[in-house]
Chain A
Amino acid sequence: MTSTDRHQPKAKVMILLLVALAVAALLSPWASSSPDGLERVAEDLGFMYLAEGAPLLEGWMPDYLFPGLPHEGLATSLAGVIGTLVTLGATWGLGKLITLPRR
């Protein structure tokens, strides 16, 4: 890396990507399994049953678990890393796409 590289915005922004990947890979398996605010309210007020039955779309990795991996922490990490990279691609691509017309 030359001295000018360190001032490249893209290179600096990549640090945040590394943080994101670390959060997805290392922190996500430690997430609280308690219901979130809405789930808690739905349980307390007795309307959780409305969501019972299969969702209309099953999803590739329901519950943020990569399918077929026996180790739950590893399955969560892998699902997190894939989701993070897919989101990176989608938002970056969207940014490129919407700024195209003014070129």
Chain B
Amino acid sequence: MHIPDGFLDAKTWLGAAALSGAAVGYGLKKTGEALQDRQIPVLGVLGAFIFAAQMVNFPVGGGTSGHLLGAALATALLGPWSATLILTTVLIIQAIFFADGGITALGANVLNMAVIAPMAAHCVYRLLGGVRPLSVFLGSWCSVIAAATATALELALAGAVPLPAVLTAMVGWHLLIGIGEGLVTCAVVAFVSRSGLLPSASPYENGEGKIA
């Protein structure tokens, strides 16, 4: 759901850029304080994996496709603020090197996919008390719906399209895309935890704290 240049007016993309700028700044501070040294390689390879996975669009029927967002995945393994930094980095690289997502819309894309999506997943993991298959599936699904809802709100705020129409259409398609997100995220989280690839416990295993 990368918004291209032209969909948003100046007030909307400037507003979104200000909000996401503040969130990324906070994420840099929070992660800098809490990230363990041995988690740094995980941050790197998770970024690499999410970039690669975002390239692989899967069909969801009706001539539409979706791709992994990865926000719920990064949140499950490293916490929401690390996820914000990973997704922001991926979105910047996509915008600069691959013209995927407009450079003016970068702030909005970061807000939707790198700030709101990890927050939605984080809330679900907290609410359901951990990272288990059901919470990972629901967290992934909610992260996609939340990002799609935010995208619809921005498009309506920018005057590109009336809110009821765009909200129904965006949420409708992403209900399906979210299922793909949930399945892929569950599979990867299971693979990572079973193979012992992660040099530390999940940020949700020990209750409070460790949310980098």
Contact = CB atoms under 8 A, between A and B. Distances in A.
B43 A94 contact: yes
B56 A101 contact: no
Interface in B34-59: 35, 37-53, 55-59
Contacts of B66: 36-37
Per DSSP, chain B at the interface is helix
Question: Residue among B28, B56, B90, B151 with the most chain A CB within 10 A?
Answer: B56
Contacts of A52: 6
Given A90-B47, A95-B35, A83 B97 contact: yes
Given A35-B65, A59-B96, A98 B56 contact: no
Interface string B71-100: 000000000000001100110111111111
Contacts of A53: 6
Contacts, number: 222
Contacts of A40: 62-64, 169, 173
A50 B39 contact: no
Given A13-B45, A87-B47, A94-B43, A56 B103 contact: yes
A71 interface: no
B103 to A, nearest CB: 4
Contact of A99 (B5, B32, B47, B86): B32
Contacts of B40: 92, 95-96, 99
27 contacts: A9-B41, A12-B199, A13-B41, A15-B195, A20-B53, A34-B59, A36-B57, A36-B64, A37-B173, A38-B151, A41-B170, A44-B169, A45-B165, A45-B166, A51-B5, A57-B95, A57-B103, A59-B100, A62-B99, A84-B49, A91-B43, A92-B41, A92-B43, A94-B85, A95-B31, A96-B40, A101-B32
